[in-house]
Structures are given as C-alpha cells and as structure tokens.
C-alpha cells in the first residue's frame, strides 16, 4: 500500500532522504511504498537464481546480475528495487556507481504477501511502460513462475510453470544458453 496521499508525489531527490531502516523503499508514479524484509524462502529463491545467473554471466561474459537492494531509476518519480536485475554487457552504460539509470533487460520479482498485488499489477505495468524486455514473477507459496516478454511494446505471457512440473526448464532469449530447472529455483 502507498504510504502517501495520491495528491503528494515524491521524487528521486525525496527518495534519497528516506531512512535506512532495513525496509525496502520504492517510488512508483511518485507514490512511496515501504516493504519489510522478505521471508527466508523468498531469500533462498533469490539466492538460487542469483547464483545460477551469475555463474552463467561469468562463464559467458554475458552481463551483470544484481540483487536487491539495488536502485533502478526509471524516472524522477519511478525508483524501484527489484529482487533481481540483469543488464546485458552491451548495455552496461546504464549501470552507475549509485544505481541503474534506465530499464534493465530482465527483472525478477519474488512475491510476498505484502507485495503480491504491486508486483503482479503495478510493477508489471511500470516495467512494461519502461520497456523491460522480460519480467519473471515468482510465487514462493504456489511455487510458480510466470514469464512475461515484450512483444510490440506490450507484455505477453510467454510461459507459466507450476510445482507440478519440477523438471521444467526455465530459460530466456536474453541470456542465450542459460537454463535452470524449476526444482533448482525452489530448492
């Protein structure tokens, strides 16, 4: 839930003044959102994916993968900290010392009770608007992964897997030759 009235819009300058209190602070359309630290299952999933993608990037000189908290600055009113972001080697110029300036190639959000609606609707709309090429939404409770890819500037559901298919291989054209099984995501 936003923590500010809709008539008051925050900017990146305001964002820089938010407290370092262990919570995740984000701005979407100038609205301030605060999220508590994630649960351990969320963090295990994030670590599993980060390790696999990082290993792939290192061995294929593919780009950079970063985990939250890393600021992604889309605009003065849109600053988020996705769970994982990937920036292709050819687009490393958007990575600065302080943050990522612009759309990463690939974003992963891992749902929690407090972020479910925001990740599935609000952030999906934000990422689509800023042309993030691929967006994965991972549900730790249902053990599902939804993959959205841009097609003609709109997200299309490219795939959805469930825990009933643990040997399903997840991959993305953004990272050629990268793959991970669903069971490895949730192990």
Structural tokens at position 15: 């964002």
Over residues 147-177, the pLDDT tens digits come to: 999 999 999 999 999 888 878 999 999 999 9
Confidence class for position 2, pLDDT limits 50, 70, 90: low
Q: Which domains does the chain have, with CATH numbers?
A: 39-186 (3.90.1570.10)
Burial of 172 (0-12, 13-18, 19+ CB in 10 A): buried
Residue linked to tokens 């908290």? 69
Structural tokens at position 7: 């008539």
Distances (CA, A) of 31 to 7, 14, 139: 9, 11, 24
Predicted TM-score (pTM) of the model is 0.93
Over residues 115-139, the pLDDT tens digits come to: 899 999 999 999 999 999 999 999 9
């Amino acid at each position: 839930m936003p923590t500010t009235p809709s008539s008051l819009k925050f900017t990146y300058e305001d964002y820089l003044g938010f407290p370092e209190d262990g919570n995740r602070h984000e701005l979407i359309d100038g609205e301030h959102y605060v999220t508590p630290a994630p649960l351990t299952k969320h963090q295990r999933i994030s670590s599993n994916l980060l390790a696999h993608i990082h290993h792939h990037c290192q061995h294929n000189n593919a780009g950079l993968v970063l985990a939250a908290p890393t600021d992604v600055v889309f605009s003065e009113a849109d600053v988020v900290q996705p769970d994982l972001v990937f920036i292709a080697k050819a687009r490393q110029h958007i990575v600065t010392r302080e943050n990522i300036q612009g759309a990463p190639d690939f974003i992963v959000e891992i749902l929690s009770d407090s972020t479910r609606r925001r990740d599935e609707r609000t952030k999906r709309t934000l990422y689509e608007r800023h042309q993030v090429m691929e967006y994965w939404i991972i549900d730790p409770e249902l053990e599902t992964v939804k993959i959205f890819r841009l097609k003609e500037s709109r997200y299309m559901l490219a795939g959805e897997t469930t825990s009933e298919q643990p040997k399903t291989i997840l991959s993305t054209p953004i990272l050629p030759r990268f793959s991970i099984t669903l069971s490895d995501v949730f192990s």
